[in-house]
A = this chain, B = another copy of it.
Amino acid sequence: MAGSSFGTIFKLTTWGESHGSGIGVVVDGVPSGLPLCEEDIQVFLDRRKPGQSKYTTKRNETDSVQILSGVFEGKTTGTPISMAIFNQDQHSRDYREIAGYYRPGHADYTFDEKYGFRDYRGGGRSSGRETIGRVAAGAIASKLLKELGISVTAYTRSIGSVEMETFDPEEIRNNPFSFPDAAAAKKASVLLEDAMARCDSMGGIVECVASGMPSGVGDPVFEKLDANLAKALMSIGAVKGVEIGDGFSAARATGLTNNDAFCMDEGGKIKKLTNHAGGILGGISDGSDIIVRAAIKPTPSIASPQHTVNKQGEDITVQIKGRHDPIIVPRAVVVVECMTAIVLLDALLVGMSSRLENVKKIWKP
């Protein structure tokens, strides 16, 4: 089916495989008049680019974006923005071997079951490179949100057993893990190097906070803001769990400890004293920060010997070669941030017509 599109009004459609010509995205429904250039996109892509630390794949890609349509005289025109990032450093040879067997923890087997065969080079469509299109689209969403006074920030909350204990926003881009806590980053590097030495890999948790989101955005029932965030994050390759606000902890809380009391702030506006809800009540934003978390599994590609089967139906032992991240988390941070931005922006655009008085503001001013 057509599963490569996301969003209702702000809608992206991604394409591309790890070792094909390139990766791209078409972003439709972008309001006209937003100043946009390739550099706006590139800064986001650079955050997920490989080779930025010893903890990421050695694949050498500049991931340079080209805007092919939808921008004229430096501004979005309202028509689809097509962006392409052509692949450069494909070592497809490394993958010829895996054509013949099913890597544990990967989608090789399920692609074969679904489609009858697969582009096995570098994971084909199921490669992490697929997220490039999401990040390019998310860069546009983030820029537009900023125009509305909304900022979205993701960071690493934990790697393996190492959890962040302090929150310093300045620190996030200072360490190779995107931890907002320098001490945690240090501990994580020890842990990770140990895992790398054992030809093993690690996972972690990414958290994302959106500030400045107006209240009243999102829908009741199926298009709840949290429901769409959950889909958006769970659709990222290695994500196995999603939480809003207190998430799974809420299941162990009581009504008295979990409810957020409303109160009046000094400016005479309604606010919440706490934010266990993560900024969403009944699927609709309540004006507090939106808080989401995604659990990311350890990289399945590891050089340790593993049991599996080949296409001839024989049990075999394999050791995955190639250039793989020992941990996906740091590069997933910007992907989580971008998917969050995309969901929030789409909800804002869709939500413009919720009141008749707003419809009149636009069409009968």
Check A31/B353 contact, CB under 8 A, given A77-B117, A203-B258, A363-B214.
yes
Q: Please tell me if A166 contacts chain B, counting CB pairs below 8 Å.
A: no
Q: Please tell me if A195 contacts chain B, counting CB pairs below 8 Å.
A: yes
Sorted nearest first, the 9 A-B pairs with minimum C-beta distance are A107-B282, A3-B219, A3-B223, A113-B216, A2-B11, A201-B255, A110-B284, A231-B231, A227-B235
Number of copies: 4
List which A239-280 residues lie within 8 A (CB) of chain B: 240-248, 250-256, 258-264, 268, 270, 273, 277-278, 280
Contact status B24-A306, CB under 8 Å: no
List which A110-154 residues lie within 8 A (CB) of chain B: 110-111, 113-119, 124-126, 130, 144, 147-149
Q: Which residue of B lies closest to A298 (CB)?
A: B255
Q: CB-CB < 8 A to A252: which residues of B?
A: 158, 160-161, 203
CB distance from A219 to the nearest CB of B (A): 3
CB distance from A101 to the nearest CB of B (A): 8
CB distance from A77 to the nearest CB of B (A): 5
Pick the interface stretch among A47-55, A67-75, A168-176, A178-186. A67-75
Q: Please tell me if A82 contacts chain B, counting CB pairs below 8 Å.
A: yes
Q: Please tell me if A299 contacts chain B, counting CB pairs below 8 Å.
A: yes
Q: Which of B237, B262, B282 contacts A309 (CB 8 A)?
A: B262
List which A282-331 residues lie within 8 A (CB) of chain B: 282-287, 295-302, 304, 306-309, 313-315
Q: CB-CB < 8 A to A93: which residues of B?
A: none
**Could you list some 17 contacts between A and B, CB below 8 A?**
A1-B9, A1-B354, A4-B222, A15-B26, A15-B69, A76-B356, A79-B124, A79-B125, A104-B259, A110-B218, A111-B220, A161-B252, A203-B250, A204-B251, A250-B296, A251-B295, A256-B306
Q: CB-CB < 8 A to A198: which residues of B?
A: 256
CB distance from A122 to the nearest CB of B (A): 12
Q: Which residue of B lies closest to A303 (CB)?
A: B255
Contact status B235-A109, CB under 8 Å: no
Q: Which of B79, B278, B348 contacts A220 (CB 8 A)?
A: B79
Q: Which residue of B lies closest to A145 (CB)?
A: B363
Q: CB-CB < 8 A to A300: which residues of B?
A: 255, 258-259
Q: Please tell me if A193 contacts chain B, counting CB pairs below 8 Å.
A: no
Contact status A354-B32, CB under 8 Å: yes
Q: Please tell me if A357 contacts chain B, counting CB pairs below 8 Å.
A: yes
